[in-house]
Every structure is written in C-alpha cells, then in structure tokens.
Structure 1
C-alpha cells in the first residue's frame, strides 16, 4: 500500500486517509476547514475504505481478511454486518440503492438497505484491478476483455444487461459516470486519449487528448459535480481538466431518440402505424441533423471545424484527422513532483468551484478554478494530513500562516464476536454481530432475544447508518438526490 491512500466520497464532501498508522475520515467544510470526524488505528491493516455520501455508513476491507466486507456505523462505533465472498475483494462501489462488490471474475450486487444479494455477474473476463464504475442511477460499467478496451453496461437497478461498447484498442485503466448517469468517460492503459460516450446508445460524444509524447497511467478520472467538466490525473506532474460540449451531448441524445423511434418503427405491423412512426422517426432524425449542423456552425468551432473536415477528407489519413479533432485541456494544474498517485475532485466548496487534489504524499491541495477562462489553476490552500492521528496541520497560502488544529482521538471500535445467520447466493455469506444486552424496563418485559440480530434489526441499523441527518443552516449537508434509474 502507498504511504497514504486517499479517497473522496461520492459528493466530494469528505475524504478518507489510509496509512500504516490508521484510518481517518475528514469532512471538507471549506477552503480553510478540513476537520477530522473519525479515526481508527490500523490494527487490521485496512486496505479499502468507502463512505456513503455524508452518512454514517462506512465499509472496510482488510489485508487480514481480503474476502470480507465489513460494514459499520462509524458515528456509533457499531459493527452492522460482515459479508464474505469466494475470493479477494478488489473494489467496492455504493449509491443510495445499490452496493457493488467487484472480484477478479465476478461482480455481486446488493440492496444497500438490507444487504440482500440481488444478482451476481459470473464468469467475466479476469479483472485483476477490480475496475468498475457505478452511477447514481445504478448503471454499472465494467471491462469484458483483457486484450482491448471493451466494456459492458449493466442496469443494476432493473438487473438486466445493457449494451457493449468498444471504447479503446488497448485495455481500460479508468471508468467514470457523469452525475446524471448520461455520460461515461473512459481511458486506456496508454492514457493519451480520454473518450466520453452516451450511455443511451453507446455513441462517442467527445474525445480528449491528454498527451502525445508519453504513455501514462490514469490514476483518477472524475466528472465535476455539475457534469460539465472532466478531470484526469496520472503519474505525471500535470492534472488536466476538459470541458464537456453540451451541444455534442444534446446531439447524441437526439440521435438516441431517433434510433429508438426507428427500432419501434420496425416492430409495427400495420401500414398506418408504420407510416406514423416513420414520420416521427424522420422528424427526430431531422432534429438530430439540425442540431448537429448547428453545432458545426457555432462561432467557436466554425474555422477549426471547416479546417479539420477539409484536411481530414482531402489530405490526411484517418488517424491524423482523429488527432486534429481531439479537444485539448480547458484547465491544468502543475503538481510539485511527478510519479505520485493523485485523486481529483471538481466541486463547490462554500459555493465556490474548487479543484481538489488528494495526493499519496499525504497532502490535500485546493486550487481555484475559473469556469470562464480556464488556464492554469491557482493554488489556494494546502492541508497536511500526514501527522499523528490527533493533529491536523493546515497551510493557508492566502495568509502565509501555518495553523495547527488539535483534535481528540475517538476510541477504537470495539471488537465484537460474530455469529453466522444465513448464506446467500454465489457463496456470499452475511454475518451479524451479537446483540448488546438490553437492560431497560422495556427490554426486560420483552425477554431475552435468542436469535442474535434479526434481519429486521439489521435493516434498522443499516437505515440508521445510511440516512443522512440534514442541517438547515448548512446546505452542503443535504445529500444529492438519487436519480431514478432509467434505461
């Protein structure tokens, strides 16, 4: 494991830091406010940690039990349940409805409210890095080929297989969905080109050129909270931010509507109905063509588009014309040194758009982001998260003053014996902790509970951990609304 393993939650409001000394969770409340909210000594050698938005639910995977997923209510310091899988857990993804556990050759889908296993995707192509992505509306993307960048989209809400997309010629190294779930961004092992696809029909919407001279490994690929930017970091010293073309997205969606109309047209049997649907198809196709033509005639791209089309059609081979059509970075950040893994987030901090970079050197960098002109992003603050568990050091560059905040270390989580209650499909076992003795008057009247923790009790604990208490005085405490799953 790297010196410091950093990971943002789904809405970029908190950050987990794993090191040889322990696990810490931080709340990002502002440019100069990064507060420690939980700490746990690393006696179990934790290697994977995920927090569900701003809730109290945290899942852990340790090196001692690599096939065990531990779920806990970190604010109450209570274990909820343990889930055991046939092989090592490589990746965990969560949203408000689903919890995804990715193994090397299978993926398991749980209902996050009661941890019942809903579906298992078996016999997939070996995925040794546990590469997968889950959208807020429960679309799941994962690679299906070791020799090329071919992927599959699976609807984890309706539990049915979707389309297959050949995103790259070489194997994939990064996948991410936009917040709305409408777009999917991919990068290959070469790391020179990043592509964005429409989830509805698999059409390529945009292509970005990260670099030409050298192949790199993409460490972080993430959309901005609004879905209008895409941020990529690698093992080089530069972080790139690309701008999503809203008009290109609109054209892709119109084409998807036209394709659906055309498909329904073929399925009609009567001549009258066929004629009606053909008209609708022609109208949708015309709308898509008009939108595409309008996109080509925008002032910002008129000369460049004309030049690219002329050169690509008359002078240059297809590979060269593809390079000319690729978009460059809208904004960049120069890091202190190359070779380190950096995790990025482009989100609003106290209503201001900020680019956050969490580096495996133990620092959290906060940069200014100008949505109008782009360019180089100015460094605003650095938070040093390398110290002892009780100390958080913050460097405020605007004032050039070093500030130290003392924290009290929360007590370590109690170790509880576990009792197996039931087994699920695909060799997934779920264990629940023994109940705590209830010495209250109501508990005495009910009598002893001999069935350890029932499913209903586990359900209540999970719901309690998942639900995020809202604070009316802080709009950032409201969790993002989960989008209803769509095809």
Structure 2
C-alpha cells in the first residue's frame, strides 16, 4: 500500500508520496521536486540509496531489493516508466489511454491498474501477456498482488458498491474465485508473503477480515472498533504471517495476532457473554452482538504523535537485527519506528523518528519535536556524488508492447 497526500488536484506544494517495498527493507519518498529511495534495514540509521531531482512521483514500486523501479509522475499520469536506479537509466515505458491508478510487482508479473481495466506483463522481459477488461469501476485503484511465485494471485474489487473481491491467478491467467468479504465497498486489500491469506477492509473500517485464498473461507475476523467508522489507509502482514497491522485516519495503528485457534474465554468472560446475549435476545439484535463478541480485538497498538491534518499513513511490520518493529511512514514526510513485543503485545514504544524530506515545510514541527523529546530524531541524509535524472531509452504504447532482449532482473 502506498499513499500521496491529498488528491491529484490538490496543491503540489504539500504532496508527499511514500511506499515500502515487499520486505519493508526500503522506502520510496517523492515530493514536488525530488524522489528518494532509502535503505531501511537498519532503522536506526537510514541509508539514502538514490536521489533524483524530478517531477512529483505519484506511484513508485520497487521489486523486492532489486534495482527495478516502476514510476508514474504527476506530469505524465498515463505513462509508466520502468527504471534501473543503479544505472540511472530507463529500461522501457508504457502509455495508456487513462490515468494509471496502481502498479504492483512480483518476480513473475508487473500489474498496471486503470479505473476499468487491468494489464498484466511478464516481469522477465516486460512483454504484455494479458488484460482484464471492463472491470467494475475502481476509481481508487484498489488491487493487491501476492509476492509469492507459487500463489501469484491478483485481487481486485468485484463490485463497486459492495465488498466482493475477485482473486485472479496471474500466473495461469485464469479466474480463481470470488469472495463476499464485506457488505460495504472495499478500501484496502493485501496478501501475506506466501499468498495463502488475503486481508480486506471496507469503507466502514470497523471490521478487518482474513480469508484463505485456496477456499475463500474467512479464517480470522478482527474488530478495530465498534461504533466509529474510519478510513483504513493500509493493511500489512508481518513476514511470517503471524501478525497483521492496520493504519487509518485516526492516531492509532492496530496490530492483530493470527493464531491457529481462537483463545478460550475464562469462566467470568463466559458468564458475562451469556448475560449480555440474554439481554440482546429480548431486544431483537442478538445476531449482531454475537458476531461482535466472536471478533478478536487488537493484540498491540501504536499511538502516533502529532500528524498534520490530511496526512495519511502506511504501516508495516519488520524483523531485523533481532528486533521486531512497527514501521509507519506518513505523507507529511516522517518515518516512525516502534518496538513490538511479540509475546505480550500492548502499547508499542516509539524508539526512533526520521525526517525523510529535509526541505519540506512542517507547521507542526516544533510541537512534534517537543512531544518526542525523549526519542531520537534524525534527518535522513547521505554524502555522495551528485545524482542525475534517469534518461529515456525507449517508449511503447499499450497496443503494441515490446520485449527486452534480457531480463531486467539481471541488469
């Protein structure tokens, strides 16, 4: 999941794009006049891998930890550029008749999502191989692609006004199944690392469900809240698929734990549930309350510091240097690192904050620094030679995509 601040008609001065790669080992950041790629394996000291003074980036996807980047800019929203950032060259580009809303990559496929169609390419030679035409209108570009080669699944909304999701086998190029996930329209989808689980959220934002991609069965149901509807911004599984984190338009990021079986209630909890159910039966809404009681609450939570109005967040769980962390990148240009206790959960502790864009104004910077006075704060920088813009080497229309002589993964 990736985000830029505001819609594409907003003032460019305050635009920031942020996105993690598959393993959450790197982070791309784009502003009105700069694009940066950070190595975040060491969350204490970020390394700036690449910087380019270029037009504002609205979409950027890195293929795992390779040199391959897929980029869409604000000035050319219908053009996808595939670049090799280490060589600072453009491998190829594709143009479309409508605005590109999302791009996804794995080691088999490159996926491009427009509002009413999806295009699929072979990642090794970037040849066009399949299209899914006349899909339900998807104005927000809600899609997910599993990182796995074995379960190379693509998920996208089956209906615009209802929470149904199609799962398409992007390897075999065939429909797999359709899942009725929610009563309301979908706002977020994500696969786990192996492609065996799919997490979904609707525009109500109260319930997050996890489905088995082989059967379509709902295997977990998590409740983020009861009464207050929120906008879910991002969903992300941990590398071992044991945890799922969710960020929204609130200051709280929820982390849910996936267990093989639901923990049994103690005697007091059983008595309380029985008492409440009897009351609800007489009131005529037994089923809805029973459903809520069967939904699990968050295992751990993150409380974000002051965030600028309109800023959005993406979250991820990373395991590195024998540490478990929750990473939250914001569209006002910050990366927050929280410690996650895998055994006890609870409130996560903020251990590091990084300013990703040093030349971006922040009206709340003083208040933010005051609220984080006990936490180490850094501005991510790098001493290196001057970078140059990528140079175009080829351009292809979608009607006749061309192939490369060698795999971009080898370059």
Fold-level similarity (TM above 0.5):
yes
- Cα gap change, 1:45 to 1:430, in 2 (>3 Å): farther
Of 50, 62, 78, 1:38 maps to: 50
- Cα gap change, 1:101 to 1:414, in 2 (>3 Å): closer
Q: RMSD over aligned Cα, in angstroms?
A: 2.5
**Are positions 1:415 and 2:361 aligned together?**
no
Query: What residue number does 2:145 align with?
Result: 134
Query: What residue number does 1:234 align with?
Result: 248
CA distance in 1: counterparts of 2:380 and 2:247, whole angstroms: 29
Flag the structure with higher helix content. 1
- Cα gap change, 1:110 to 1:306, in 2 (>3 Å): farther
CA distance in 2: counterparts of 1:152 and 1:414, whole angstroms: 36
Q: Structure 1: where are the runs of 5+ without partners?
A: 248-294, 390-394, 432-454, 466-487
- Asked whether the equivalents of residues 223 and 229 of structure 1 are also in contact (C-alpha less than 8 Å), the reply is yes
The SS at the match of 2:401 is strand
Q: Following superposition of structure 1 onto structure 2, how do residues 105-124 of structure 1 map, counting pairs within 5 Å?
A: 105-124=116-135
- Asked whether the equivalents of residues 228 and 246 of structure 1 are also in contact (C-alpha less than 8 Å), the reply is no
- Cα gap change, 1:58 to 1:206, in 2 (>3 Å): same
**Are positions 1:321 and 2:290 aligned together?**
yes
- Cα gap change, 1:104 to 1:401, in 2 (>3 Å): closer
Moved more, 68-77 or 396-405: 396-405
- Asked whether the equivalents of residues 27 and 36 of structure 1 are also in contact (C-alpha less than 8 Å), the reply is yes
CA drift of 1:101 comes to 0.5
Radius of gyration: which is bigger?
Answer: 1
Q: Following superposition of structure 1 onto structure 2, how do residues 28-427 of structure 1 map, counting pairs within 5 Å?
A: 28-42=40-54, 44-137=55-148, 138-247=152-261, 299=264, 304=269, 308=273, 315=281, 317-337=286-306, 339=309, 340-388=311-359, 400=376, 405-408=381-384, 410-416=386-392, 418=394, 427=398
| CA deviation string 1:15-37 (max 9, x = no partner) | 00111121000001313120100
| CA deviation string 1:131-165 (max 9, x = no partner) | 00011231111002111111110000111101111
- Asked whether the equivalents of residues 186 and 200 of structure 2 are also in contact (C-alpha less than 8 Å), the reply is yes
CA distance in 1: counterparts of 2:390 and 2:101, whole angstroms: 26
- Cα gap change, 1:302 to 1:20, in 2 (>3 Å): farther
When the two structures are superposed, what TM-score results if normalisation uses the length of structure 1?
0.73
Aligned length: 380
- Asked whether the equivalents of residues 233 and 239 of structure 1 are also in contact (C-alpha less than 8 Å), the reply is yes
CA distance in 1: counterparts of 2:393 and 2:339, whole angstroms: 48
- Asked whether the equivalents of residues 89 and 393 of structure 2 are also in contact (C-alpha less than 8 Å), the reply is no
- Cα gap change, 1:309 to 1:200, in 2 (>3 Å): farther
- Cα gap change, 1:403 to 1:26, in 2 (>3 Å): closer
CA distance in 1: counterparts of 2:174 and 2:382, whole angstroms: 50
CA drift of 1:207 comes to 1.0
Query: What residue number does 2:27 align with?
Result: 15
- Asked whether the equivalents of residues 46 and 63 of structure 1 are also in contact (C-alpha less than 8 Å), the reply is yes
CA distance in 1: counterparts of 2:197 and 2:272, whole angstroms: 28
| CA deviation string 1:440-465 (max 9, x = no partner) | xxxxxxxxxxxxxxx4xx24251324
CA distance in 2: counterparts of 1:86 and 1:196, whole angstroms: 35
**Are positions 1:464 and 2:410 aligned together?**
yes
- Cα gap change, 1:403 to 1:78, in 2 (>3 Å): closer
CA drift of 1:167 comes to 0.7
Query: What residue number does 2:364 align with?
Result: none
CA drift of 1:306 comes to 8.0
CA distance in 1: counterparts of 2:331 and 2:395, whole angstroms: 37
When the two structures are superposed, what TM-score results if normalisation uses the length of structure 2?
0.86
